[in-house]
Structure 1
Amino acid sequence: MTECLKWDNNKICSVIFLNIKDNVNISSKRLTSKERIGPHNIDIISMIIGSTLSYSHLEKRKNGIGTRVIFEQSNRNVEYLMWFHAYFSSRGYCSSIKPKLKIKIKQEGKVYYQYRISSYTFSSLNWIYEMFYKFVDGKYKKFVPLNIEEYLTPLALAIWFMEDGFSKGKGASIATNCFTLEEVNFLCKVLKSKYNIIATSNKSGKNKGHIIYIHSNSMKLFTSIVKPYLLPSLYYKLGFYK
């Protein structure tokens, strides 16, 4: 494993490269998931972690030994999705072909318009799948990893907020409806222990689970952490602190 520095948005940050082979192009579809091993820098890992806490899900391929990222967004957040796609495709993690709008019909006949990005399959992403998924009642279900604090970088937090965050009064919230109350409370504790952000779980409505509420007295701190990574078009999610 080697480490170097890169220049990004007038900041120097550490980039860790894992198991690099000079003669391997990770964007080649002809490679098997075992051969497509990297590099994975900390920004890519952070984006996957942050997005998996939100809409994205990880898929371990049945006929292979690797994992791919399935990223979905509604047509209301298309600018963010295109930015996400451009970031991943320019680094060889998915096709350069821009995603197209598709219609999805859910329960009770409700029609949704969404975009979908599927990454290439990497055996070296299996560890993230194993962090997030457990086999329960005959299928794999997503859970909050017990070691999430280790990987909840400022960029991961910003990705999570861009996908699931919204302003609420003088504070802000992050939709965590898919997780249990115990998991939501755990995430609140992680925000406190890692960033000193005061957050609590709030009911989202009858049978709609719980969301995270970031208290107003932590918004300046929260904004200072995530805003450097937010798309300007999503500053509105910070409410009074945009």
Structure 2
Amino acid sequence: MKDVKSMVVGKVLGDAGIKKGKDGAGLGIRHSISQHEYVFETWLRFKDAGLVEKQPSLYRSRRSEKDRYTYNVGFYVPVSQELAFVNEWQDESGVKILPGNIEELLDPEALAYWIMDDGQMGSLKPGTNIVTGGLTLCTDNFTHEEVAILIDVLSRKWGLKTTPNKKGANLRIYFSRASMPTLAELVSPYMHLSMMNKIRH
């Protein structure tokens, strides 16, 4: 099996859903149809690793009768022993949690996939390509304590300056503009071309 562990770590930190199994774990991957190129590249890596065969599918949904339909594309990675380590990311009730060895697991490739899944780029100065803010990671699925751990890991491993930003009852991780050059150097080798705008500075 080709090594996809770092990619899996980044995607579980991001949007991937976890399916526990007796013989391992599986993953559900789904993104907006506008990100179909990124989804297909991710699927190819899982396919090359021998973990998936069925191609990505198109999904249509809406939250209520008054809402317009939204379209997503995604795929399911069947339960396998190779993904068994992902079971540590979920408690008995199915809630996503941070594993105790996150500092060991989080490397530049994992960080890149986390950003591609959950990163929101800084805003642009009107009429220009000048970025006026840093990057935000939407960490809404994690507790305040877990966000604090992630911020500490990012600081100690790479010296990245981040702060917790409140979003409703949740916290999100904001990368300062000063950290963006370092962040971009770390993750750009692993970023899909369609996602490079998230790390521009």
State which drifts further: 220-229 or 171-180. 171-180
User: What is the percent sequence identity of the aligned residues?
Assistant: 29
Deviations 1:27-73, CA, capped at 9 Å, x for gaps: xxxxxxxxxxxx362xx000111000011022113xx4221111111
Residue of 131, 146, 159 corresponding to 1:183: 146
Rounded Cα–Cα distance in structure 2 between residues aligned with 1:108 and 1:53:
32
Rounded Cα–Cα distance in structure 2 between residues aligned with 1:107 and 1:197:
41
Equivalent residue number for residue 52 of structure 2? 94
Q: Return 5+ residue gaps in structure 2 as ranges.
A: 123-131
Rounded Cα–Cα distance in structure 1 between residues aligned with 2:197 and 2:119:
10
AA matched with 2:75: I
AA matched with 1:51: K
Equivalent residue number for residue 59 of structure 1? 19
Rounded Cα–Cα distance in structure 2 between residues aligned with 1:134 and 1:142:
7
**Structure with the greater alpha carbon radius of gyration:** 1
Q: Tell me how many residue pairs correspond in the alignment.
A: 191
Deviation at residue 108 of structure 1 after TM alignment: 7.8
AA matched with 2:84: N
With normalisation by structure 1, the TM-score equals 0.73
Counterpart of 1:142 in 2: which secondary structure?
A: coil
Equivalent residue number for residue 178 of structure 2? 217
Change beyond 3 A, Cα 1:91–1:216: same
Rounded Cα–Cα distance in structure 2 between residues aligned with 1:107 and 1:200:
35
Rounded Cα–Cα distance in structure 2 between residues aligned with 1:188 and 1:91:
31
Equivalent residue number for residue 14 of structure 1? none
AA matched with 1:153: D
Deviation at residue 107 of structure 1 after TM alignment: 6.5
Deviation at residue 114 of structure 1 after TM alignment: 1.3
Deviation at residue 109 of structure 1 after TM alignment: 6.5
Change beyond 3 A, Cα 1:108–1:161: farther
Residue of 119, 143, 150 corresponding to 2:97: 143
Equivalent residue number for residue 200 of structure 1? 163
Deviation at residue 173 of structure 1 after TM alignment: 1.2
CA RMSD of aligned residues (A): 1.8
Equivalent residue number for residue 133 of structure 1? 90
Rounded Cα–Cα distance in structure 1 between residues aligned with 2:25 and 2:6:
16
AA matched with 2:35: N
Rounded Cα–Cα distance in structure 2 between residues aligned with 1:65 and 1:106:
34
Equivalent residue number for residue 116 of structure 1? 74
Rounded Cα–Cα distance in structure 2 between residues aligned with 1:155 and 1:236:
17
Greater relative contact order, per chain length (Cα 8 Å cut-off, separation 6+):
2
Equivalent residue number for residue 166 of structure 1? 120
With normalisation by structure 2, the TM-score equals 0.87
